[in-house]
Amino acid sequence: MAPKWRELADRLADRIKSGEYAPGQQLPHIRDLVEAGEGSKSTVHQAYKALEAEGLVTSSRGHGTVVRSQTPIKRLGISRYDKAKWRDGDEVAFIADRVASGRAYRRGEQTQNVSRVEAPPAVAAAHGLPVGSEVYARARLVKEGDQPTHTLTSYYRPEHVEGTRLVDPTPGPAGRGGGYRVLYDAGYEIDHMKEELFARIPTAEEVKQLQLPVGEPVVELHRTTCTADGTVVEYAIGVHAASRFAWEYDFKVPDSARKEEVRP
Amino acid sequence: MAPKWRELADRLADRIKSGEYAPGQQLPHIRDLVEAGEGSKSTVHQAYKALEAEGLVTSSRGHGTVVRSQTPIKRLGISRYDKAKWRDGDEVAFIADRVASGRAYRRGEQTQNVSRVEAPPAVAAAHGLPVGSEVYARARLVKEGDQPTHTLTSYYRPEHVEGTRLVDPTPGPAGRGGGYRVLYDAGYEIDHMKEELFARIPTAEEVKQLQLPVGEPVVELHRTTCTADGTVVEYAIGVHAASRFAWEYDFKVPDSARKEEVRP
DNA sequence: TAGTGGTCTAGACCACTTC
DNA sequence: AAGTGGTCTAGACCACTAA
């Protein structure tokens, strides 16, 4: 037999999913359920924590417990890197994503912090640098309205970006066309990329920075961007609130028996 | 000031990360810490639940609380679909993954269950079928040793698979070369694919089926596989224990200003 | 000030495992 | 039988929010 708190949580979850408790609506107060004989305060509280961990509600002291509204997810396809967007046009990739999703762009939705740091091991490995080398780190926190959605930190080799707008510590997108436009103007046209993704539990710091609800996972994205000759010009690490994004990749089925399919 | 249970959990987490408590080793018993003045049983228990939710330990009644050993993750690249593997060779894709990771294949690591079902909405949409159409569902539960790692359910249109080995309800991989080989033999050679991924909190059922530790997220993968003429021959949904996998994708930077890059 | 959720205690009892 | 983690209670007190 399931514990009492689990049964209570399941009953409440059913009523949330059926729409009986609508998004934004308050759940019964803990003390009311204690009064109604659902158990002691600790027991009811445990049920509420479970619902919070399952992403169904958020609680706050003084306010109460309200049903979370599910924000539609943003689909990220490789077309967000389209050269036409940043080379010919005026958009940076992350804005293009938003336009594609039918959402308006607002100012001040990206903070930026550029610094010269010692390369973390993964960064040094991606750039093919000896450990301890210095790189430029451009850290952004991207918001949708007031709500942070992801962080993105790009690492560049000093010789690629020194003297460009990228190392200018002004907040905001890196000017017209974004970071890839700056690299293009500096003679580094990006050609191919690799993205690696995995999901995990956030650190305490990420919970704070991204204002994550209890129990929400994050997806970590490692992006390696190369020029046509294979030089790595950017290695970026992003941490995304899992409930807000989905990733899409289209590709041909590889055939190693056919030589012409091999990528240089 | 952080709550007492949080401070205790942090202290224990530090000692786990520093290696003072090695994987497999027992943490102090709850009652011992109560004895040692770390708080009441509920308080210490709350700290232990937090460590469990963070994936650092697993608890079981009668046994105690032991430090989890971190299994290395498996990297999934598109080369796992290489035609050479299933057309010319003897491997099915998921076995090839394991070979690439240097792990041995053991029998009985995949259970299979084939049934004819009414297509769920997403499946009908992917196959371009009217809602309520019937499809074949081939559901697998894949294990690594005793531990389940992911589920994978493939949906096929009846006219593509009827009369083939794929609808034979025998457990185990779909024979020599796996499902794509069967489709190939039936005249449907796969040509290109789309994968969509996102992370979320598992359902209660998935926790049981995949034996997930408390707090571990899952990654849901939707895979659409097409022939050269664009016919969808397989739509598959996988649910993966997040801590065991990473995905990798290589691609060219798209350029919509160049016509020849457009995919049909 | 009143009401909310969050923490904490001391102790009882339960479910499960090992000896 | 003894020892483990898990549940539950009744009540106290704390932190935060709103009127």
Which residue places its CA closest to the C1' of nucleotide D15? A61
**Pair (B106, B22) in one structural domain:** no
How many whole angstroms separate alpha carbon A64 and alpha carbon A58? Answer: 9
Give me the count of residues in chain B. Answer: 264
pLDDT at B95 over 60: no
How many whole angstroms separate alpha carbon B76 and alpha carbon B153? Answer: 18
**Shortest-distance nucleotide from A58 CA to C1':** C5
Over range B119-143, report the average pLDDT: 93
**Pair (A80, A35) in one structural domain:** no
Least CB–CB distance from A256: residue in B82, B196, B248: B82
**Pair (B127, B226) in one structural domain:** yes
**Pair (B125, B211) in one structural domain:** yes
B247 touching chain A per CB within 8 A:
yes
Give Cβ neighbours of residue B134 (< 8 Å, ≥ 6 apart). Answer: B116, B117, B118, B119, B158
The answer to whether residue B110 is domain-embedded is: yes
**Pair (B61, B186) in one structural domain:** no
Per-residue pLDDT of chain A (264 residues; tens, 9 = 90+): 778 898 899 889 999 988 889 888 889 999 889 988 888 999 999 999 998 888 888 888 888 898 987 777 899 999 999 988 877 755 555 554 554 444 444 444 677 889 999 999 999 999 999 988 999 999 999 887 777 899 999 999 999 998 888 887 665 555 666 789 889 989 999 999 999 999 998 887 888 888 888 788 999 999 999 999 999 999 999 999 999 999 999 999 998 876 544 443
**Pair (A12, A134) in one structural domain:** no
Q: Pick out residues whose CB falls under 7 Å from strand D.
A: A 3-6, 39-43, 46, 60-63; B 1, 27, 29-32, 41-42, 45, 48-49, 52, 59-65
**Pair (A56, A103) in one structural domain:** no
Strands A218-227 and A190-200: antiparallel
pLDDT for the residue numbered B90 = 55
How many whole angstroms separate alpha carbon B195 and alpha carbon B241? Answer: 17
Give the residue from chain B lying closest to A195, CA to CA.
B249
Q: Per the structure, how many domains does chain A have?
A: 2
Interface test with B, best of A12, A76, A78, A253 (most B CBs within 10 A): A253
- Name the nearest CA neighbour of B200 among B177, B182, B222: B222
The answer to whether residue A262 is domain-embedded is: no
pLDDT at B228 over 70: yes
**Pair (B49, B177) in one structural domain:** no
Which residue places its CA closest to the C1' of nucleotide D17? A62
**Pair (B58, B91) in one structural domain:** no
How many whole angstroms separate alpha carbon B69 and alpha carbon A106? Answer: 45
How many whole angstroms separate alpha carbon A39 and alpha carbon A35? Answer: 8
B79 three-state secondary structure: helix
CB pair distance less than 8 Å for B83 and A255? yes
How many whole angstroms separate alpha carbon B196 and alpha carbon B81? Answer: 16
Degrees, nearest 5: CA angle A237-A238-A239 = 130
**Pair (B51, B172) in one structural domain:** no
Distances, alpha carbon A41 to alpha carbons A67, B37, B42, B62, in Å: 20, 25, 14, 27
**Pair (A215, A140) in one structural domain:** yes
How many whole angstroms separate alpha carbon B24 and alpha carbon B68? Answer: 6
Domain that holds residue A13: 4-67
A193 touching chain B per CB within 8 A:
yes
Which residue places its CA closest to the C1' of nucleotide C9? B40
How many whole angstroms separate alpha carbon A56 and alpha carbon A58? Answer: 7
CA at B58, C1' at C8: how many angstroms apart? 24
How many whole angstroms separate alpha carbon A143 and alpha carbon A254? Answer: 37
